[in-house]
A and B are shown apart, each in its own frame.
Chain A
């Protein structure tokens, strides 16, 4: 089983709203990732958690706040977003951050900021 689940599938929010994206995996993976993908562009890494600790933050604005409550769950808290933040947000996981480890992706949450 290589399933990563993400909820919700779609989200529309105003610029003053607070919302959260959720990601879950039960593969025992200890590395989890958030990516952002705009139309016709490749996924861009936002955050990496390794053993529930944030190990990479790719200069992401503070209106995006990640959280890893346990080894199976990864959240992305959203607050005061801008319309240009509209994108597909992808979660991925891998056994660990080792070089030969494959990242498995969830289906994504399509976010629209109005």
Chain B
């Protein structure tokens, strides 16, 4: 059972525009959420996280929004750059338990 879902396998965005990557989860006990970025043949790189007590966290061009009532989080990248082209995974956990990953969204930023 996939507890964390990324329903869009791919997304293409023009350079300079906003990229919005979405993630839905089913387990209401998740209290910590993370976004990772992955280039081919490399391990996931941590981007940004958010605790369930917040609804927004911002770090430079990256902002994560959490809507607990909808069990939905999103990652906004603005402005998008060609170097942002990668696969983005959202992940969630409860307490000290396992990290559950979504299936990933491949972002392509077109110059």
**A-to-B contact residues, CB < 8 Å:** 2, 4, 6, 40-43, 45, 48, 56, 58, 90-92, 97-100, 102-108, 110
Contacts and interface: CB of A to CB of B under 8 A. Distances in A.
Contacts of B51: 100
Nearest to A99: B95
Q: Which bracket fits the contact residues of B?
A: 20 to 34
A98 B34 CA distance: 14
Contact of B96 (A97, A106, A108): A97
Nearest to A105: B43
Given A2-B46, A102-B34, A102-B49, A42 B104 contact: yes
B99 A90 contact: no
Interface of B: 4, 31-32, 34, 36, 41-46, 49, 51, 89, 93-99, 101-104
A56 B101 contact: no
Nearest to B45: A105
A99 B44 CA distance: 19
> Which of the listed residues A41, A98, A99, A100 has the most CB atoms from chain B within 10 Å of its own CB?
A99
